[in-house]
Amino acid sequence: MPQLIRLELHKLRTVRAPWVLLGLSQLLIVAGVSGLVLSSDTLRTDDAVPAALAHAGLASLFTLVLGITAVAGEYRNRTITDTFLSVPRRSRAVGAKLAAYAVAAAVFAVVNAVTALVATKVWWLAKDVPLDLGGADVWRTIAGCAAWNVAFAVIGVGVGALVRNLTAAVAAALVWIALVEGIVGQLVGDLARWLPFAAGSALGDLPGRAGDLGPVSQLAAAAALAAYAAAFALVAIGTTVRRDVT
Amino acid sequence: MTDGIRLRGLTKRFGAIEAVSDLSFSVPAGRITGFLGPNGAGKTTTLRMLLGLVAPTSGEALIGGRRYQDLEQPRRVVGAAVEAMAAHPGRRAGDHLALLAEPAGASSARIEEVLEQVGLTDARQRRVGSFSLGMRQRLGLASALLGDPAYLVLDEPANGLDPAGMAWLRRLLRDLAAEGRTVLVSSHVLSEVAQTVDDVVIINAGRLRYAGPLAELDSDGRSLEDAFLQLTTS
């Protein structure tokens, strides 16, 4: 199994998409932190630093897309045939993908966190505001963002296995986040804070989202997102094992 | 060297459509067997069932007595090239082969060897997206050869090859069969493989129409082409 995970990571390293997604994540984080700073009256509030750092979690959009490429991308490029010829026991092949993409997302998470910290540091210096990165809030936010990054990659693998058309899968995932979750949220009332993006936001401590809907502790959000990830992992394996590759 | 390939009562239904019906034939070792039929005859579906990619509705397809998915290290036993376009366009040819070499138990020296064998040594640093169809076919053959397999299953390998490439492919398959390997090659054009194959299996509309030596196909005085057309249009 470790050999199969290494093989999946090797596959990722030899194409450009993961590097592009990693680059875009950093752009998003820098733009997000800058936007927050430029639109704030003051950075001298308690939650300004976590709010800036939380943009590392928002980069989960890109780990989600990365995860979607795991299976849907292989169908698009027809490399899924070679994958299953190498590993005919498909549950092992998909299991290796789930693990490998979680590892890749963890690497994303580290880079995302560093970028968020550096961007925050630079802006606080520029605005001449003292910055304390030693607080519990800071590291809680960073850890939450990393967990969100990883969970969304695993969910993405499941989405891509379910909807094997890459374009449709990416579109469906982004439309869910941009539009559908909001609509569903209005329909389900209080339960809205447990929907995937809301749970991710709470986990990453992103203000102005889940926070408005009432208190969801970071741990509860982590549990919810872990449940989503587990469910989608099962979906990924279940849909892939029996399906004909024509 | 090997036990050959054996299909018994292989059947595949996609909804109401029966793509392959009760197909039984054997592919002996040490010979080249052409797997022929018009477009849509069920060749690709049959080969995909043989390789565990498509689940048969009934029947079985065995390679040396075992199903593909039951082989311990399938890429060391079976070299398959079933899809010429099956490579990530952004990946370099050498990386593509390196990814397949690992499960095939092939060393980096072996990668060089097969690149040399298919004439792609100079293209190893190129991204596959820039390859012509003929080059992709050669890359597919290289990946099939990596594990030095006793069985070769090739779906339309001549598609996209120029005349020199065809002659090269013919020699390559001859050499492989002469080493005792089992070689199964599909095509929808009889003339493409007539100079290459020893035996032919002809199917039409998912059913077996002929299985036997090529030489006996035209035994009643008809041309090969006429015999093939008659078997596949009636």
Residue pair A18/A104 in contact (Cβ under 8 Å)? The answer is yes
Interface test with chain B among A82, A97, A166, A243, by most B beta carbons within 10 Å: A82
Q: With 60 as the cut, is the pLDDT of residue B1 above it?
A: no
Q: How far is A171 from chain B (nearest CA, A)?
A: 21
Q: How far is B38 from chain A (nearest CA, A)?
A: 18
What ipTM does the predicted assembly reach? Answer: 0.94
CA pair distance A25, A64, nearest whole angstrom:
11
Instruction: Tell me the DSSP string of A31-94.
Output: HHHHHHHHH-S-S-STTHHHHHHTHHHHTHHHHHHHHHIIIIIHHHTTTHHHHHHH---HHHHH
Domain map (residue ranges) of chain A: 2-241
Q: With 60 as the cut, is the pLDDT of residue A211 above it?
A: no
Residue pair B36/B199 in contact (Cβ under 8 Å)? The answer is no
pLDDT one-digit tens code per residue, B166-179: 999 999 999 999 99
Label residue A148 left, alpha or beta by phi (over 0 means left) and psi (-120 to 50 means alpha): alpha
CA pair distance B15, A47, nearest whole angstrom:
58
Q: Where are the beta strands (DSSP E) in B107-150?
A: none
Q: Which residue has the tokens 């910055």?
A: A131
Interchain pair A78, B91: CB under 8 A: no
CA pair distance B198, B208, nearest whole angstrom:
18
Chain A partners within 8 Å of B96 (Cβ):
14
pLDDT one-digit tens code per residue, A11-67: 999 999 999 999 999 999 999 999 999 999 888 888 899 999 999 999 999 999 999
Tell me the domains of chain B and their CATH numbers.
5-87+149-233 (3.40.50.300)
CA pair distance B126, B131, nearest whole angstrom:
8
Tokens linked to A168 = 């449709």
pLDDT one-digit tens code per residue, B32-69: 999 999 999 999 999 999 999 999 999 999 999 999 99
Residue whose C-alpha is closest to residue B74's, from B104, B47, B29, B98:
B104
Q: Which 3 state secondary structure label does DSSP give B225?
A: helix
Q: Across all residues in chain B, what is the average pLDDT? A: 93
Q: With 90 as the cut, is the pLDDT of residue B234 above it?
A: no
Chain B partners within 8 Å of A3 (Cβ):
102
pLDDT band with cut points at 50, 70 and 90 for residue A136:
confident
